[in-house]
Copies of this chain bind each other. A is one copy, B any other.
Amino acid sequence: MKNKIQLTVDAVVFGYDSGNISVLLVKRKYEPFKDGWALPGGFVLENENLEQAVQRELSEETGAKINYLEQLYTFGDLGRDPRGRVVSVAYFGLVKPNAFKLTASTDAKKAEWFDIKRLPKLAFDHKKILKIAIERLQGKITYEPIGFELLDKKFPFSDLEKLYTTLLDREIDRRNFKKKITSLKVLDELDEKVSIGRGRPASLFSFNKKRYFQLKMEGIIFEI
């Protein structure tokens, strides 16, 4: 009776670029759900731990470089896979725009980015997994500055602001938002500016990881 359960990992990898949140999907080569879209993932090998399995599958299937990866939830309902009893450990990942565009532009590959507002039908119970991942993402950015993992190393403040308005789907007062982020001291203002199109050039910022880990140690909560 035991031992007939198969174990897979699946990854929900989010990317962000100029106001769009995307998720990485792959087109299935084989049955079941042949030619259907699914989350990247696959069977866990006997000699690798779960995170290694996710990273391996991701690099095999998409080539994406992951900045941030955490375990999301384990899905084990009967009947979630037509092949039999398959339990899947889902992970949640974030990538920076570079990795993002790279894969998105190579159309020959089987991996593609989809705007989370325009998703195709998904194989297995991946719709459910994705839903939970989106909730986690929205919840998480309000109390941990993981939003930076979706941005370039250097970014104008407006990028961060736009990321939050997009992710939370509501307006944010720029002054109050900056006040809050500034008070955390996780942003370093650089001596550089960028000018994109018209409008006043923007100062570039970078994310201070040291300070972030320090805050984490102190158990500091922040709330957007």
The residues of A with any CB-CB pair to B shorter than 8 Å are 1-7, 43-50, 71, 73-74, 76-78, 85, 87, 89, 221, 223
Contact = CB atoms under 8 A, between A and B. Distances in A.
B89 A76 contact: yes
Contacts of A45: 1-2
A1 B46 contact: yes
5 contacts: A1-B45, A2-B7, A7-B87, A49-B78, A50-B76
A43 B5 CA distance: 10
A43 B77 CA distance: 15
Q: Is the interface of A mostly helix, strand, loop or mixed?
A: loop
A77 B89 contact: no
A197 B89 CA distance: 51
B4 A44 contact: no
A49 B221 CA distance: 35
A69 B4 CA distance: 25
Contacts of A7: 2, 5, 7, 76, 87
A170 to B, nearest CB: 12
A8 B3 CA distance: 10
Given A2-B44, A2-B45, A74 B77 contact: no
- Most central of A3, A49, A74 by chain B CB within 10 Å: A74
B6 A3 contact: yes
Nearest to A142: B221
A211 to B, nearest CB: 22
